[in-house]
Amino acid sequence: MSKVLVRNYSISLDGYGAGHEQSLENPLGVGGSKLHDWIFATRSGNQMIGQEGGNEGLDDDFFKNRGTGVGATIMGRNMFGPVRGPWGESEWTGWWGEDPPFHHPVFVLTHHARPPLEMEGGTTFYFVDGGIEAALRAALEAAGDRDVLVGGGAATMRQYLRASLIDDLHLAMVPILLGGGERLFDDLGPGARDYHCVEHVCSPAVTHVRLVRTS
């Protein structure tokens, strides 16, 4: 049976998945790029961007398995790009260039409909304006017997956590303070008590925590 997963989602010690003042120049907000330094120190993180080198070990083991068994991804509109409001004549196609690293269907939550956007490498972005459950139904159908990854950002993950729709949540806790931005664990409601830690391991760069929904 397919599962709904979060993998390698970086948060600061004070609980932020992005800093404040997100923009085209600062997609993760002021200081937010530091949340991903651990990824680009790994061998698989460098391979993702066409570079050589990088460390092997615990962090690399987590990151290189980011797409294993995944058949579809869900993300929020803010993760897709900086465009707000109606799409209009926008030609924005995401942060990832002509060949995004997903290589499967990606469902983008939005309040404004837009035709599907087919990219190179097997990635097609579908824009869903029917809410989180509609996006999940579409993603599960597209994934078949594979899993669905909720990629972010924090507001999107928070909605799925509040609805107890995430089965397995892997967080990478980075030892920095951002002091503001998008918090992950605000107003989760009683469903948060359904999640229990099943793994807690540390590298010199980051602490990996896996939480699994048990009911």
Do 18 and 157 meet the contact criterion of CB atoms below 8 Å apart?
no
Render pLDDT for 125-155 as a digit per residue (tens, 0 to 9): 999 999 999 999 999 999 999 999 999 899 9
Domains identified in the chain and CATH numbers? 4-19+29-83+98-213 (3.40.430.10)
Nearest-angstrom CA–CA distance, 5 and 146: 11
Render pLDDT for 84-135 as a digit per residue (tens, 0 to 9): 899 988 889 999 999 999 999 999 999 999 999 999 999 999 999 999 999 9
Q: In whole angstroms, how large is the CA radius of gyration of the chain?
A: 17
- Put simply, whether the predicted model's pTM sits higher than 0.85 gets the answer yes
Q: How many CA atoms lie within 13 A of 120 on its CB side?
A: 4
Render pLDDT for 20-72 as a digit per residue (tens, 0 to 9): 888 888 888 899 999 999 999 999 999 988 899 999 999 999 999 999 999 99
Cis bond upstream, residue 181 (ω within 30):
no
